[in-house]
């Protein structure tokens, strides 16, 4: 439609909106995980069992919490954007596999899968010009 053809010049604004929205939500979900302490990190890190990693669950849980919290912040400002997208993608794949391993079907894993797809796409697109990386 002709009315939408000019929106292409706002691609970078669209990327900024996506970065801000996802970044805020990942900080929102990550901070309680980070503040949960070693017992909570161990529970979260136990999800690594789905890919055969059975050691140091508190470490892996801490890394997941750091990835969500600070990954969200870095996503917002657009710094080290592609590595952050890759780490968040991996984090979400583990989350989806965990849902499946607990007997939850696609319905329970859908949110993690949707976000993983978004981060994979953003990995290839880049952060846009309204970012520190400016690519």
Local confidence band at 80 (pLDDT 50, 70, 90 cut-offs)? very high
Give residue-wise pLDDT tens across range 4-60. Answer: 888 889 999 999 999 999 999 999 999 999 999 999 999 999 999 999 999 999 999
- The pLDDT value recorded for residue 134 is 76
Q: How confident is the model at residue 82 (pLDDT cuts 50, 70, 90)?
A: very high
Q: What is the pLDDT of residue 133?
A: 85
Query: How far is the C-alpha of 38 from the C-alpha of 21, rounded, in Å?
Result: 28
How far apart CA 27 and CA 117 sit, in angstroms, is 19
Residue 135: the pLDDT is: 56
Amino acid 58: pLDDT: 97
pLDDT in tens, 98-132: 999 999 899 999 999 999 999 999 999 999 999 99
Q: Give buried/exposed letters for 37-53 (b at 16+ CB in 10 A, else e).
A: eeebbbebbbbbebeee
Q: How far, rounded to the nearest angstrom, does the alpha carbon of residue 118 sit from its chain's CA centroid?
A: 9
Q: How far is CA 29 from the centre of its chain?
A: 10
Rounded Cα distance between 56 and 47, Å, is 11
């Amino acid at each position: 439609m002709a009315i939408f053809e000019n929106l292409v010049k706002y691609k970078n604004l669209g990327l900024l909106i996506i970065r801000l929205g996802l970044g805020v939500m990942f900080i929102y979900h990550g901070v309680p995980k980070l503040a949960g302490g070693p017992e909570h990190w161990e529970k979260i890190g136990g999800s690594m069992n789905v890919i055969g990693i059975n050691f140091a669950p508190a470490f892996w849980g801490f890394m997941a919490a750091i990835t969500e919290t600070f990954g969200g912040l870095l996503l917002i400002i657009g710094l080290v954007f592609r590595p952050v997208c890759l780490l968040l993608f991996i984090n979400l794949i583990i989350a989806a596999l965990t849902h499946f391993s607990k007997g939850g079907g696609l319905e329970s894993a859908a949110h993690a899968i949707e976000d993983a797809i978004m981060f994979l796409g953003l990995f290839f697109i880049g952060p846009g010009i309204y970012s520190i990386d400016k690519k």
